[in-house]
Structure 1
Amino acid sequence: MSFPQKSNGNRILRRVRPRDSSTPPPLIDISVSQVQALDSAAEYYHYQYQLLKDTIEKLGLKDAVYAYMQKNDLTMQDLNDPAVFQRVVDALESVAYSSVLVGTAAVELTLPSSYDLRKQGRVGQIKNQGQCASCVGFSSSSVIESTMMTLGQTLTASPSDIFFCLGTGAAHCATGWNVGDAASKIQSYGFVEDSCFPYPSTALASGQDATCVHSSCSRHMDLQMTLLTGNQGVAMQRVKRNMMTNGAVLTWIVIYASFDTMTSCRNQEDASGNPISAWKLQSTDTTPLGGHAIACVGWNDSLQAWLCQNSWGSSWGNNGFFWIGYGQAGVMGEAYGFF
């Protein structure tokens, strides 16, 4: 991938064009150096994960773990018990088989080749951020809703509260916010339901910042945040495990021209909802336009792609969802989960 020439890595990239309903919402302002860092991290994490999986396959470690489990009458469900998991790792660890490789192989046995939280009934509502760069608030609310469903509670979280209250002073319709700060604020200050602070029509239609509404609603203080990336080879394994056990994952991507339309990412699934294609960078995508926060809700190893939820309305993509290739446009270069 090529990037714009720069004399200053902190130069801000900003898509400039009129705002109207026929074009996607404004994007998060990002610097050239941020683009390079996110893109490099995503490619590295995905490469290291595939390298680990190839090594495990070559050594036959999954077969070894499975044989040990059969011999000791253990099930896949048993591997969710930390004590049992450590017992398996300790039993197979040797000079040739490091604890990291054995542990990775054991976890891989529990991961299906494809997963879709939609089919589990654990995805949040498809929403529309309109003409405000409030994608961080919307994607965070979708992740919260998915996590709460996993915990047995169905609700609609307020993206307005996340963006205009938790992000006070930092989040703006013209420039956006960042996913790390949002995840940290949600852990510290909780969230409110959408009825407490509905999305302002002025933000939706004309991209105007709103003043925080301090409602009398009690704040949900249920969730803890975890950074899923940063652990090199096992980062993508951690992302998959989080989706299965806790729900959707919060991440962000770099937007390029081939993605930046209201008609992109359509027809990626067949009539039965099975994926048939995924968005990938095109040869013409040489200039980053900005950042965009999303909630990812599944994967497909055959397609080599993540399933993600957008906030550009249900008419965009595949009823508001889309598939994006592993490591493309910085996806999962930075990712958070709640539990």
Structure 2
Amino acid sequence: MNGFLIKEGESPIAKVEECDGFDETNENDLKLPESFDWRKKGAVTPIKDQGQCGSCWAFSANGALEGQMGKRDKLISLSAQNLLDCDIRSNGCDGGYMESAFFWIQTEGGINSEKVYPYNAIKSDCRFRSDRVVANVSQYYTLRKTETALAIGVTNVGPISIAIDAHLKSFQYYKEGIYYDPHCSNQYVNHAMLAIGYGTEDGNNYWLIKNSWGTTWGDLGYLKLAKDRGNHCGIVNYIVYPREEEHL
């Protein structure tokens, strides 16, 4: 049910982007909203379920691109199966990574919608339809590996693809509240998700994260992960997001 996996030496490299004056401003002096949620701005599609297939990377990548579309009132569920079948740099249900997905979309000229290319949780032959493209990637970027940089990115860019350590049973059976487990690694990550905001609950900060394990997992499919707790579960170890080609 996880599936975040990078092939060493084959990774398309995302460009580093500094968001909105990040270079010129001290991190601690930045004025960010106390809370933020892209669902309230129409940039998040409904929760999906990857099933018994390590395709989290495809759902995460699509979520970030869907967010870019939603920002301009064109929210469409994109096809995870399209990436699962066609991105040869990733390993289908055996894992993959979001940079590779963005590279494929950019190179091939776009991606189909979920409606045109539905999900079946099994890798098959590529059936991408170039005549039914609904989104494309102009470029993809990463940020500094800090929680402040991620907060800036989430508020200014849109939903952002991330990866975390999801191997603990406490994570797999998470239901509500802010998730914190001292055994969760801040170095090893194995599951791709989508950071869509952040907030505070009972005086504790959290990241708001969309998962791809259906609505019966977690808080109706979402996770509140402890924020500003030393890169808990490795949330800033892998950060990547696309910019959409807006002519489509």
Write the mapping of 1:213-292 to structure 2, written as runs, cut at 5 A. Answer: 213-215=127-129, 217-220=131-134, 222-229=136-143, 231=144, 235-261=146-172, 263-264=173-174, 266-268=175-177, 278-283=178-183, 291-292=190-191
Q: Deviations over 1:110-157 (max 9, x none)?
A: x11221112223212210000110111111112221210102212111
SS in 1 for 2:191: strand
Aligned pair 1:181/2:100, yes or no? yes
Give me the whole-angstrom Cα distance separating, in 1, the residues matched to 2:42 and 2:5.
33
Deviation at 1:105, TM superposition (A): 6.0
User: Which of 138, 147, 153 is residue 59 of structure 2 equivalent to?
Assistant: 138
Whether the aligned pair in 2 keeps the contact of 1:225 and 1:336 (CA below 8 Å) is: no
Partner of 1:60: none
Q: CA offsets, 1:283-317, max 9 Å, x none?
A: 4x58x997111011001265232110000001111
Write out per-residue CA displacement over residues 59-112 of structure 1, whole angstroms, 9 at most, x where no aligned residue. xxxxxxxxxxxxxxxxxxxxx9x7xx7xxxxxxxxxxxxx95x52369712x11
SS in 1 for 2:137: coil
SS of the residue corresponding to residue 307 of structure 1 reads: strand
2 CA distance for matches of 1:338 and 1:107?
A: 27
The residue that corresponds to 1:211 in the other structure is: 125
TM-score in terms of structure 2 length? 0.78
- Provide the rounded CA distance (Å) in 2 between the counterparts of 1:323 and 1:298: 10
Per the alignment, residue 36 of structure 1 pairs with none
Contact 2:164 2:188 in 1 (8 A): no
Structure 1 residue 108 corresponds to structure 2 residue 26: no
Measure the CA separation in 2 of the matches of 1:281 and 1:30: 25
Q: Which SS does the other structure have where 1:103 is aligned?
A: coil
2:42 aligns to what? Answer: 121
Say which SS state the counterpart of residue 204 (structure 2) adopts. coil
Unmatched segments (≥5 aa) in structure 2 = 9-18, 244-248
Amino acid at match of 1:280: Y
Cα separation, partners in 2 of 1:152 and 1:238, compared to 1, 3 Å: farther
Following the alignment from structure 1 to structure 2, what is the Cα–Cα distance between the partners of residues 226 and 29?
A: 18
Residue 331 in 1 paired to residue 240 in 2?
no
* Cross-structure match for 1:316: 217
CA distance in 2, matches of 1:169, 1:226: 16
Aligned residue in 1 for 2:114? 194
**Would the aligned equivalents of 1:249 and 1:296 in 2 still touch at CA under 8 Å?**
yes
Matches within 5 A, 1:11-160: 25-28=1-4, 100=23, 103-104=25-26, 108-109=30-31, 111-160=32-81
Query: 1:154 and 1:27 mapped to 2: Cα distance?
Result: 25
Change (3 A) 1:307 1:195: same
Would you say 1:172 and 2:81 are equivalent positions?
no
Q: Report if aligned partners of 2:27, 2:148 keep a CA contact under 8 Å in 1.
A: no
Q: By how many angstroms is 1:176 displaced?
A: 0.6
User: Which structure would you say has the larger Rg?
Assistant: 1
Q: Percent identity?
A: 22
* Runs (4+) off by over 6 Å: none
Q: Pick closer, same or farther for the CA change 1:222–1:106 going to 2, 3 Å.
A: farther
Flag the structure with higher helix content. 1
CA RMSD of aligned residues (A): 3.1
Where 2:25 maps in the other structure, the secondary structure is helix
Amino acid at match of 1:128: D
- Structure whose residues are more often strand by fraction: 2
Superposed displacement of residue 181, structure 1:
1.6
SS class of match (2:190) = strand
The CA distance in 1 between the partners of 2:65 and 2:153, in whole Å, is 13
- In the alignment of these two chains, the number of paired residues is 226
CA distance in 1, matches of 2:72, 2:182: 39
Cα distance in 2 between the residues matched to 1:177 and 1:152: 29
How many Å separate the matches in 1 of 2:188 and 2:156? Answer: 34
Q: Is the 1:124–1:143 contact (alpha carbons within 8 Å) kept by the matching residues of 2?
A: no
